[in-house]
Amino acid sequence: MRIDMGHYFFTESYTYKQGVAASISGGTPAAGHLPPDAIDYDKASYCETDGANPELVIDLGVARTVDSLWLKHDNIETIEVYHSSDGIAWTETAGGDGVIDMGDGILWYFGFTAQSKRYWKIKVATKAGAGNVKFYEAMLMELKLTLEDDIDLPADVRVDKVDTIGGHYVMADGSTLSYAGQRIFARIAVMFQYTPKANKDALEALFASPIRQALTIVPDEAYPENIYRAIWQEADFKLNYSIPYKPNGFSGELNFIEY
C-alpha cells in the first residue's frame, strides 16, 4: 500500500538523543549486530536477531512526545508498536493510517495518536520468512508538517551529496581536522512557486521557533528510504511574494543540510 505523494517535516528523531538505549526482547542478538546498531543513523548497519516474534525496545531516557515511526528492516511482514511509562506495562499504539509497507524494506507509521512516553517497543508480529530479522534503523519522531495538496507541494526538490573529502575544519584549540574518512552528507533544496500564504506561514513557523529546531525530513514520498536529519542551512527564510500581484502567492527556496 502506498500513501498519497507527500513531503514530511518531523522533529529530530529522538532515537539519536544522548542517553537513548536499545535492547532486544524475545530473541538473541547476533554477534557484531547489536541493538545500538538500530539507532545509530547508519542505514547500512543493523541489529540482527533470531526470535520468532522479536521486539526492539527503545528507552528514550526521558518521556518524549512521539506520533511517528520510520523503520528500515529485513524479513518483517507486520509490526505492532507499543509505548510505556515504566518499561513494564505496555499499551499498543493506535491511530493514524496504521503501519504502511512502503516497499524496499521500509515501514511507516505516521501521525498516530501522540504519546509522551519514555519507552517504545516495535514488535515483529509476523516475519516475511523463516530467517532472522534485521532492524537497520528506527526513528521515533513527532510529525510537524505534511505537504500533500497539489497547491502546497514544492515545485522541485533537489538532494545533492556533499563530498568534503578535500576539506578540513578548525577545532576550538586552533588545530585542524580533515574530513577524510567521514561520511558524505546531503544538501536538500526545497523549491516553491506560487504557494499560498497559509503554506508559507506553516513553513515559516517551523523556521521561526524560539530555538531553531533540528528536523527530520522526507523530501519526497516517492523515495521513502531517503529520510534525513537536517538543520536549516541559512539564517533567513526565503519565501517571498512571487510577483508584485500579491494574491499569486510566494516563491523561493528553502535549504537544509544533513548532519
The pLDDT confidence band at residue 172, using thresholds 50, 70 and 90, is confident
The class (CATH top level) of 7-145 is mainly beta
Tell me what the pLDDT averaged over the chain comes to. 91
The pLDDT confidence band at residue 32, using thresholds 50, 70 and 90, is very high
Domain with CATH 2.60.120.260 in the chain: 7-145
The pLDDT confidence band at residue 181, using thresholds 50, 70 and 90, is low
Beta strands in the chain (DSSP E): 7-11, 21-25, 47-49, 55-74, 76-84, 91-92, 100-103, 106-127, 133-141, 143-147, 156-162, 168-170, 176-178, 185-195, 215-218, 228-232, 239-241, 250-258
Check: CB of residue 11 under 8 Å from CB of residue 142.
yes
Average pLDDT over residues 178-196: 84
**Which of 20, 16, 61 has its CA nearest to residue 259?**
16
104 vs 75, 93, 97, CA distance in Å?
A: 11, 24, 19
Residue 49 confidence (pLDDT) above 80: yes
